[in-house]
Amino acid sequence: MLEAYASALEILFQPVNLLVLLVAVISGLIIGVIPGLSGLIAIPLLLPFIFRMPQDVALILVIALPAVVVTGGSISAILLNVPGTGANAATCLDGYPMTQRGEGARAIGASVTSSMFGGVVPVFFALAMVPLVMPLILAFGQPEMAALVLLGIAFMGALTTGSVTKGILSGMLGLLLSFVGYQSITGIHRFSYGSTFLWDGFELIPVVMGLFGLSEMLYLAMRGRSSIVQGRLAARFSDVLEGAKDVWWHKWLWFRSAVIGYIIGVIPGIGAEIAIWVCYGQAKQTSKYPEKFGTGVVEGVIAPEAANNGKEAGALLTTMALGIPGSAVMVILLAAFMMVGVTPGPSMMEEHLPLALMLLLGIALANIVGGVICFLAAPLLARVASIHLDFIFTVVMIMILAGIIAATVSPLNFIVVLAFGLLGLLMKIYGYSRPALFLGFVLGAMFESYSLLSVKIYGSFFFARPIPLALFAVIIIVLALPYIRGAVSRIKRRSKGV
C-alpha cells in the first residue's frame, strides 16, 4: 500500500502534471465565478481533447477543474448574491449581507479557507476509510435515499430569519414548482397546460439566477442605493486573514460540515444541494444565536462551503470503487475514465490503485492551489461591492444572460428568470424565505422519484427499515426544534416579566 502511495505522489508531482493541474484550477475558478457555468458543462467540452493524452495527464485535467468550481462560485455568491453554482446558493444567505456591511473580504477569506480545507481533509477520509465506506454505500437503497432527501427538505423551516411558518410555506411552494412537467415513473404531465416548454419543468439555472441574482438587484434599485456597500470601502488583506481566523474559531463547525459533506458525497445520486442545506441547517440549529443567521454571520458561510467541497472526495471514491457515479459531474468522469482505458469499479482499485490514489490526492492539491489563488486575490475582488450599482446591475445582467445562453437551449428561460426575479423580490419584501423555496424546488423531484420507486419495489411500508426510521426520527427533531426554541424563549420572557 505504501508503494502505491509513493507511486501516486510521483505521478502527481511530475512537472507536466503540475502545469496541467494549475491550468485546470484557474479555468475551474473562472467557470465557477460565472453563474450558470459548472463542471457539468465544462468537462464535456474537454472530452474530445483527452483522447491522445496520457492517462495521468488527462485524468488530472478532468478531476482538478470541477474540484474548484464551487470555490469560484462562492465569490459571486458573496459579492453579488448570484451563486456561481447551485452548490453555492446557501452561501448567499450570510455571505452577501456581510458584503453589504463592508465585510466582503472577510467573507471571502472564510469561504476560501473553509472550501480549501473542506476539500483537502475529506480526501484523507477517503484514503483511509475505503473498507468502511463500502457497506454504507450498499446499504442505501431507494427508501434510504427518499428519507435522506426528506431530511434535507425538513431543514426548510430553519432557513428563515423570521417566521418559521413562512419558511415552511416557502418550501412548500418550491415543492409545488418542482412538480411541474412530465413524471417519467407515472407517465403523467403536471401543470404543463399543453406547453412543450414546461414538459421538462423549470430548469435549475434560470430559477436560481432569477430568485437570487435578479431579485436582489431589483431590491437594491427599488431602495435607491448607489452601491452594494454605502460609503468608502477599505478591503485589506488583514480582513481576509480575519476570515481565515474565523474558520479556526469555528473549527468544530467546519469539521462537522466537512464530514457531513463527505458522507453525503459517498452516497450515489445525492448531490451538493442536499449537503449545503443540511450543513447550513445544523449550523443554525446548534448555534447560540440562530436568529442572526441570514443577517451576515460568518458561520453561515463556513458550514456550506466546507460541505460543498467535502463531498467531492466522497463522490469520487464511490465512482472509482463501485463504478457508480456519486454525482452528476461524476457521470461525465465515468466517460473520461473509459476514454483513457480505465474501467471504474472494484477492478480499478486493484489494477490502477496508484492512479486512483493520485486522483484523490489531485483533488486535495487542486483545492490548495485554488484556495491560495483566491486568498491572494480576495482584497481586490472585495472592492466590487463599492462599484456603482448601475455598473453592477449591467454586469450581473450580462452574467445572467451568458449563463442562460451557455446552459439552456430555450429563449423562454429569459421569461423564467424574470418571473422568478419578481417572485424573489416579493418574497424578500414580505419576509418569505427564498432559500427555503429553492431547497424545496431542488429536492422535490428527487423525493418524488425515490418515493415512487420505493413504493413500487418495497410496497407502501417502504419506510419501515432501520435507516429510514432513524432518519425520520432526526426529521421530527429538526421540524420540532424551531417551535420548541420559540416556546422556551417565550417562557423565559414571561418569567422575566417582559
The pLDDT value recorded for residue 18 is: 92
- Count other Cβ atoms within 10 Å, centred on residue 252: 9
CA distance 439 to 175: 8
pLDDT above 90: percentage of residues in the chain: 7
pLDDT band at residue 161, thresholds of 50, 70 and 90? low
| Mean pLDDT value across the chain | 79
The pLDDT value recorded for residue 456 is: 84
Residues 188-239 pLDDT 10s: 888 888 788 888 888 877 887 788 778 877 877 777 655 555 444 445 777 8
Q: Cell for 15? A: 512537472
Asked whether the predicted pLDDT for residue 450 surpasses 60, the reply is yes
User: CB–CB of 17/359 below 8 Å?
Assistant: no
Q: Give kind and range of the element (H or E) at residue 190.
A: strand 188-190
Asked whether the predicted pLDDT for residue 431 surpasses 60, the reply is yes
Residues 99-151 pLDDT 10s: 888 888 888 889 999 988 888 888 888 777 655 655 665 666 788 878 877 77
More confident position, 313 or 19: 19
Lowest mean pLDDT among 327-341, 426-440, 459-473: 327-341
Lowest mean pLDDT among 11-25, 229-243, 275-289: 229-243
Q: Cell for 114? A: 473553509
More confident position, 325 or 279: 279
Highest mean pLDDT among 105-119, 270-284, 451-465: 105-119
Asked whether the predicted pLDDT for residue 423 surpasses 90, the reply is yes
Highest mean pLDDT among 125-129, 274-278, 324-328, 425-429: 425-429
Burial class (CB in 10 A: 0-12, 13-18, 19+), 329: buried
CA distance 383 to 29: 18
User: CB–CB of 70/115 below 8 Å?
Assistant: yes
- Please list the residues that pair with 388 across neighbouring strands: 227
The pLDDT value recorded for residue 495 is: 75
Residue with cell 412538480: 179
CA distance 235 to 386: 10
Q: Give 250's contacts (C-beta < 8 A, 6+ positions apart).
A: 298, 299, 302
Q: pTM of whole model > 0.85? A: no
- Please list the residues that pair with 227 across neighbouring strands: 388
Of the candidates 77, 61, 75, the one whose C-alpha atom is nearest the C-alpha of residue 29 is 75
Strand 181-183 with 188-190, pairing: antiparallel
Of the candidates 156, 263, 361, 17, the one whose C-alpha atom is nearest the C-alpha of residue 353 is 361
The pLDDT value recorded for residue 232 is: 46
Residues 348-392 pLDDT 10s: 777 788 888 888 899 889 999 988 888 888 777 666 555 666 676
Burial class (CB in 10 A: 0-12, 13-18, 19+), 176: middle
Q: What is the mean pLDDT of residues 58-69?
A: 86
Asked whether the predicted pLDDT for residue 94 surpasses 70, the reply is yes
